[in-house]
Structure 1
């Protein structure tokens, strides 16, 4: 073997691995596109609803085809989380077949089926480091960049009076709560990566600051509270083995207490969003919908299996609760499955040794537990479900053999050889 051949082999292998990793990232970005909203927000350039649906559904189909091409031999890795999600899919199909929610329920089941199948195809790359976290951050940051672009081009349209001046996406229709969710997750994951020395401070700064600005402009309380609660918990999970995490958690806690006291009036005003005590206690009208939903007369079948997949509304109003939406659509059986999904992730996080993967997963789990109270997500294809999938992938056991896309030089814990120079890009 010549010297040239000796150099060419490893170089070619690394190029193949990088190419596979890029394709996995592309599949993930397409899944994120599929979860984007398509209604309720006026865009700068009007986009027909049919075109929006074509793009979102087309992205899912392309993602499935690419994932199938990447995993032609259909090698799956066992996942209790995905087994439970598949069981939830079965419940959804059975309940939707009664057509209480119309033919749209079957269409949503078909979408969920392709989505779950794509996730199974990607399990070959689960448990192999931090690549999926970075793919997730990049995809969400791309969406946030579109939101920021709309804010620069048409600030009045991006913060409409109809939405109480809250920031929305106007290049692509994205609601304020969805913008806030993406911003909180991007900022939180970037902070956790920095705490775990998996990215440089400069990279984290240029991600966290813009994301936090967008989050504050959305005036979304749930995402903000979830972020503020989840980051310290994730930091504490690193504290025993990471001096930076110990110092940072203490500094963040102290700074947060000082800022809360110094700007208590401004924080209270921001938190109230101009609402009176009744609106706050009623959770901005959510309690009315929840009471009506729980008071609805249901047959035994509807109590157990629900009415099938809907547009996450009841009586024409949004349900805005993961647990009640799942109860409405998939019944008590669905609620039990979702609870088991969460418990599975909690158990996996509890039994893993401290690591960057575990810290990121804990951040996502804590954040989503808080968000599930006033947001829908785990019973259907949503961005919230994608966050949970990232947590499940991070907590998966490392594969027995190195799959394509993870070179021998890549460390399984996701840390670069030189953490100070590591970035998010």
Structure 2
């Protein structure tokens, strides 16, 4: 295969990954500077997924599929999704969401051919989400009032594309963590990393997103901890991070507490901004045996008109205990494979992504449907994949056996 063809294929694969990111941005959020009809946003996001599948199929016409426990378990997750959605209890939208999930999983199957444990998809991930954060920063400059509305308590939202504070915080935290790990692994220079990390930290602070902040710090701690024995840079960074955290805890404790509480009362903070009330109502609701096993069908991750904001309860509500078991298996399999791999930078990035998604699953929904969280876990799966054995470019020539002269037969005339 020529280098030009390889570069062309790599660009298409990167485009496919970017389209998957666009598809998972969602269509619900804050009011934008220029009002965007939800139908238009859904058309763009769904069109991005169809284009991603078509491009992935175009570069993998031979349908070369690599075995992947992660994508296989995701495929199994389609079973309870379709069974529960076929009852139309959640309307025809449930079947549409099943088709979207199937197309999302099919695209991952096609991309799995290029999952080789390298950092290629990490760079695609950082570039695309940094572009999304760039649109958020542009909206903040163009219309600060629309970007930090009173409706969200003055927290940063997407003024050009409807993004909520938790979404922006998630994207910022993920690319900050991955970029820090690339710096420690000497896969990027500090100047380029600062261009990504500094503005992302500012946006994360403006969102006041506690889940993303805790996920970032805990995920980085676990990821860097996996490198301490083999990386002097990781050891130095860990020591300095601990010292800075101690100084911040002592010198800025009141400011940090005020940022963390976001002006909420103790009761509101204890109930996780009202989430606990929705969780209790969901668990107390009567269910049939079928709903307990397979759920009520893919919906908008809400119950009684209020967001569930918990991946496990959302999966239980929509895909039942079967879905919960499969999602748990995905986390356990990825975490187990990461622990069994020898220390390396790709392993550290995978540990960061897995731990971040596991932490965020407590207050955010998305592990049971096409979402950024599944895309983060897909990236972790690509980092944990074993490099594919290179096929020979041509059949090696078998050397001909030399026959001694005395053994040759003379021609009989």
Q: Distance in 2 between matches of 1:16 and 1:387?
A: 28
Paired position in structure 2 for 1:282: 271
Q: Which has the larger radius of gyration?
A: 2
Any conservation in 2 of the 1:128–1:399 contact (CA below 8 Å)? Answer: no
Any conservation in 2 of the 1:124–1:403 contact (CA below 8 Å)? Answer: no
Paired position in structure 2 for 1:79: 68
Q: Distance in 2 between matches of 1:335 and 1:323?
A: 6
Paired position in structure 2 for 1:423: none
1:194 correspondence with 2:151: no
Match of 2:25 among 7, 12, 36: 36
Paired position in structure 1 for 2:194: 205
Any conservation in 1 of the 2:169–2:212 contact (CA below 8 Å)? Answer: yes
1:311 correspondence with 2:300: yes
CA offsets 1:325-359 (integer angstroms, 9 cap, x no match): 00000100100000000000111101111111101
Q: Distance in 1 between matches of 2:306 and 2:386?
A: 42
Q: Distance in 2 between matches of 1:44 and 1:402?
A: 53
1:250-265 equivalences in 2 (<5 Å) = 250-265=239-254
Cα offset, 1:206, TM superposition: 1.0
Paired position in structure 2 for 1:241: 230
Any conservation in 2 of the 1:198–1:356 contact (CA below 8 Å)? Answer: no
Q: Distance in 2 between matches of 1:275 and 1:146?
A: 29
Q: Distance in 1 between matches of 2:112 and 2:391?
A: 13
Paired position in structure 2 for 1:27: 16
Do the aligned partners of residues 95 and 123 (structure 1) sit closer, same or farther apart at CA in structure 2, a change above 3 Å counting?
Answer: same
Structure with more contact order per residue of length (Cα contacts < 8 Å, sep ≥ 6): 1
1:135-146 equivalences in 2 (<5 Å) = 135-146=124-135
1:367-378 equivalences in 2 (<5 Å) = 367-378=356-367
Q: Unpaired segments of 5 or more residues in structure 2?
A: 394-413
Q: Distance in 2 between matches of 1:198 and 1:403?
A: 29
Q: Distance in 1 between matches of 2:392 and 2:32?
A: 42
Match of 2:165 among 176, 191, 210: 176
Any conservation in 1 of the 2:301–2:365 contact (CA below 8 Å)? Answer: yes
Cα offset, 1:21, TM superposition: 1.2
Paired position in structure 1 for 2:45: 56
How many residues align? The count is: 393
Cα offset, 1:403, TM superposition: 12
CA offsets 1:188-237 (integer angstroms, 9 cap, x no match): 10001111111111111111111110000000000001101111211111
1:116 correspondence with 2:105: yes
Any conservation in 2 of the 1:75–1:121 contact (CA below 8 Å)? Answer: yes
What's the TM-score, normalizing by structure 1?
0.91
1:16 correspondence with 2:9: no
Paired position in structure 2 for 1:149: 138
1:338 correspondence with 2:327: yes
Any conservation in 1 of the 2:295–2:316 contact (CA below 8 Å)? Answer: yes
Q: Distance in 2 between matches of 1:395 and 1:352?
A: 8
